[in-house]
Amino acid sequence: MSRNILKSSLENASFNIIFQILFRCVTFVLNAFIIRHVGQEVLGIMNVRLLLLESTILFLSREPLLKACLTDTKSHNWAQVINQVWLSVPLSGLLSIGLVYVWLNILSSTDDKYLEQYRIGCYAIAVSCIIDQSTQCLVLVAQSYCFVRLKIIFETLYITIRTFTFVALVLYYPNHAINAFSIAQVTSAIALCSLYYGFFYWYIRNFNRLKKNHKKDDNIAFSNDTQIALFKDMQDFKFKSILDFFPGYMKNEESVLNKDLSLLTISFAKQSVVKQVLTEGERYVMTISPVLTFSEQSMYDIVNNLGSLAARFIFRPIEESAYFYFTQMIKRDQPIDKQDQRLVSEAVTVLSQLCKVVSSIGLVVIVFGNAYSHTLLYLYGGNTLIATRLPTVLLKCHCVAVLLLAVNGVTECYVFATMNNKQLDRYNYIMVIFSITFLLVSYIFTMFFGPVGFIFANCINMAARIMHSVHFITNKYKESTYHPLEGLKPGMKFICVLVISGVITIMSERYYLANVNLKAVLIHVGIGGVCFIVTIAIWVYENRSLTKIGIDQYKRRVSLKSD
């Protein structure tokens, strides 16, 4: 490849972050639209039941093949790779047949008024997945040849088409929202497939024309920089026709499939099954458990999305940057006392300060989330969403989970960054035990507590993982003078102002939100805003040294950009 792989990987990561933020924002707004115009039960059918079907089919049929075929793409026999990737189409078909049968005949049924739409939705999901898989060879080639911007542009168009199709149909046919969802899924899948095939048809045709002209005249003058870049970047491109993207068309003097890639695919398939169960564990429990109604499932999904905003947009970037930092500062296979003490001291300070920052954010979320969960849900979903107390209770409980999630994220990223290979292998087994236990506890707790049981189970899971991380870090530094977990102890001034703010905001909620209206909500939000500013000011005063470091780093970054 003539392109810079590292640069393309960094660009791809950046674009993926942008796309994820865009996707989450669209989903956030779309869910609010569905609640106000359709209802919670329909949202539960679409966001939990049908999207879980899509996730299961796509992940199990696509993930193993793509991971295997992205390995060492410069050495690929592309004819074999194309043949292998196309196996995802019949595989997704077989998975669709089996899973659609389970979704329609074994899992709990919907109300009679939604049954026919639900049936069509399951079939539509299966069709859209098969169409999506017929595009995977082009997605693989685009990624292998570092077409970085292509994916983000097409995925954005895909989300846009799906969203606008769904919204337009719901506005005209509000009683057929699930049918609108089905049409939007199939339409956007066809559009994405057409975009990829259309682009590569244009790309190859232009390259062949330029190559033909170049053979006639080695000193050919290109009309613009785009043509020059196109010709240079395509020198190593192995595809001469759009038909080469279909199985059996490329010239192949070897076997139909690559044995090593096939074995690697099988290995990834085993991991994918476990990963899918752990990633979508809550949704599987909700789907299998007969305790939760679709309305309750939708409430949990809404609250989970709202409560996870801090984790997605604040904690996750911190964790990713911290992981990279700790891997560079601490050596995995050496005791602390044998390493460069200057680097160790700096890493300990950073870990302590990160613990202080994320734990402080978590405590703020608990205090203000307790008083403003009801308000947030009212602003997000209107009176429909706060008709019962369940969503408010869910969001308040989720605020506690945010604190545990924050602390676990930072401590666990340090653990992963500093464990040696033997410790990592052992921890993988521990993680499987944690995850299986979480699924079992989730099922049991939902039987007794309903949707709140998922949050209780998640809190127990996070607490267990934090205990493991704290034990590992404590043991690592027990024979040294360092105390990396001191940051988990909040300052007394900060605790006092949190308590005062909590009392004031709870009193404000009880007084002003006895009868919910816009004026009362604005007054309540204003009181909370003042308390929040005071709380942040006290935290900044109490952590002046940390604040100064942050300001200095910001000024340095600004000066570098200006230079």
Tens-digit pLDDT profile for residues 312-358: 667 776 776 777 677 777 777 777 777 777 888 888 888 888 888 88
- State whether 475 and 497 are in the same domain: no
Among 489, 509, 537, which residue terminates a domain? 489
The 3-class secondary structure across 84-95, one letter per residue, is: HHCCHHHHHHHH
Burial of 185 (0-12, 13-18, 19+ CB in 10 A): buried
Check whether residue 187 and residue 297 sit in a common domain.
Answer: no
Q: Name the residue among 459, 350, 337 with its Cα closest to residue 406.
A: 459
Please name the amino acid found at residue 284: Y
Domain boundary among 489, 505, 534: 489
pLDDT of residue 277: 72
Phi, psi of 197 (to 5 degrees): -65, -40
Q: Which pLDDT belongs to residue 9?
A: 46
Region 116-131: what's the mean pLDDT? 94
User: In this predicted model, what pLDDT tens digit does every residue of 24-69 receive, in sequence order?
Assistant: 666 667 767 776 677 778 888 888 889 899 989 988 888 777 777 7
Burial of 431 (0-12, 13-18, 19+ CB in 10 A): middle
Is pLDDT larger for residue 300 or for residue 403?
403
Per the domain annotation, does 252 fall within a domain? no
pLDDT band at 1 (very low <50, low <70, confident <90, very high): very low
Q: Are residues 66 and 161 in the same domain?
A: yes
Angstrom distance (rounded) from CA 109 to CA 41: 12
Domain span at 530: 491-563
Give pLDDT, residue 102. Answer: 92
Instruction: Output the DSSP codes for 66-115.
Output: HHHHTTTGGG--HHHHHHHHTTHHHHHHHHHHHHHHHHHHTSPP--HHHH
- Tokens 């003042």, located at residue: 530
Q: Are residues 495 and 482 in the same domain?
A: no
425 and 553 inside one domain: no
pLDDT category at 10 given cuts 50, 70, 90 is: very low
Q: Is the pTM of this model over 0.75?
A: no
Residues 482, 503 within the same domain: no
Domain membership of residue 146 (yes or no) is yes
Contact 283, 277 (CB under 8 A): no
CA 66 – CA 69 distance, rounded (Å): 5
The average pLDDT across 475-500 equals 84
In terms of domains, do 192 and 318 share one? no
Which of 79-83, 113-117, 247-251, 455-459 shows the lowest per-residue confidence on average (mean pLDDT)? Answer: 247-251
Based on the fold, state whether residues 324 and 452 are members of the same structural domain: yes
495 and 485, same structural domain?
no
Instruction: Determine, yes or no, domain membership for 250.
Output: no
Provide the 8-state DSSP code for 142.
Answer: H
Say whether both 412 and 333 belong to one domain: yes
pLDDT tens readout for residues 500-534: 999 999 998 888 776 667 777 888 889 999 999 99
How does pLDDT run across 383-435, given as a tens digit for each residue?
767 777 888 888 888 888 888 888 888 888 888 778 776 777 777 778 778 87
User: What ranges in 106-176 are assigned the alpha helix state H?
Assistant: 112-133, 136-144, 148-172
Residue 246 lies in a domain: no
Q: Is 426 exposed, middle or buried (0-12, 13-18, 19+ CB in 10 A)?
A: exposed
pLDDT digits (tens, 9 = 90+) for 357-382: 888 988 998 999 888 888 888 777 66
Total domain count for the chain?
Answer: 3
Task: Evaluate whether residue 242 is within a structural domain.
Answer: no
253 within some domain:
no
156 and 66 fall within a common domain: yes
Least trusted range by pLDDT, from 151-160, 183-192, 395-404, 533-542: 151-160
Contact 178, 121 (CB under 8 A): yes
Question: Alpha-carbon distance 476 to 255, whole Å?
Answer: 52
Q: Is 401 part of any domain?
A: yes
End position of a domain, from candidates 462, 489, 516:
489
Same domain? 474 vs 525:
no
